Amino acid sequence: MYKNPSSSPLLEIEGLSKNFGALYAIDHLDLHLDSDGITGLIGPNGAGKTTVFNTVTGIHKPTSGRVLYRGLDITAWPAHRVANLGVARTFQNLKIFKRLTVLDNILGAQTSLPRMASWLGKFRGKAADKTATDAAEHALVMVGLADRQGSLAQELPLGEQRRLELARALAREPDLLMLDEPAGGMTPQETEDMAQLIEKIASSGPSVLLIEHKMSLVMSLCQNIIVLNFGQKIAEGDPGVVQSDPAVREAYLGSERDHA
């Protein structure tokens, strides 16, 4: 992984824009993320949150602006290069391999790492690198799936499938963990369990950047919250500051005249 001895923020976004035709999903966005804690990225549907994730992680190329990781300009880097720097993510729509076992899903997530390149495509019937296997098993312990490693992913209920995708990201030993709606579709108890798990991970591991529509989870977990609307940052601060911001209230609830 790239390590910068300077005091640069872990992640910096400078004047970032991404348009799809006439639609600007991100519009001259600036933000920075320090090297510890949990930061929430919230906003109404269509605010540009997932596009930010996709642009940072190399799925989309930005229209303009820069993305820096530990001071290194990674703008428009392909996804595998960004991942190898120490950036891992989950997806709102699950990206697990449902016909592979839980353990093979974790091992497969590591194939773009240099030490796992020779293992690519050898999901079944082959002895995987012991270091990778140890990392995979540790990730499963972290998310509470150690006893499910031989099960097919498709056999897991939704809550456990989301934990599996989180374990896939953790097995890459990231410094920045980007979670896109990790509690999507979960029951209240599953949501509470996921919140406790994210808090545990962040307390001794990577910095976390979190997209989530469940405001109770965001407000209880995040030390800092960034609010987007129409691709622009409209507020930033701790939960109390954000909750009381008039621009945030209007973005979520509409202005008084909208309800007149």
Give the whole-angstrom CA distance, residue 253 versus residue 256. 9
Is residue 247 pLDDT above 90, yes or no?
yes
Lowest-confidence pick of 5-9, 19-23, 55-59, 63-67: 5-9
pLDDT, one tens digit per residue, over 113-162 is: 444 444 444 544 454 577 888 889 999 999 999 999 999 999 999 999 99
pLDDT, one tens digit per residue, over 97-112 is: 999 999 999 988 776 5
Q: Which pTM was predicted?
A: 0.87
CATH code: domain 7-86+175-190+209-260 is: 3.40.50.300
Residue 259: what pLDDT?
Answer: 35
Reference 163, options 172, 153, 174; nearest CA is 153
Residue 35: what pLDDT?
Answer: 80
What are the domain boundaries of the chain?
Answer: 7-86+175-190+209-260, 97-174
Residue 257: pLDDT band (50, 70, 90) is very low
Residue 16: what pLDDT?
Answer: 97
Is residue 2 pLDDT above 50, yes or no?
no
**Residues 214, 215, 218, 219: is their CA dihedral positive or negative?**
negative
DSSP state of 80: H
pLDDT, one tens digit per residue, over 176-222 is: 999 999 999 999 999 999 999 999 999 988 999 999 999 999 999 99
Give the whole-angstrom CA distance, residue 222 versus residue 243. 13
Average pLDDT over residues 46-53: 96
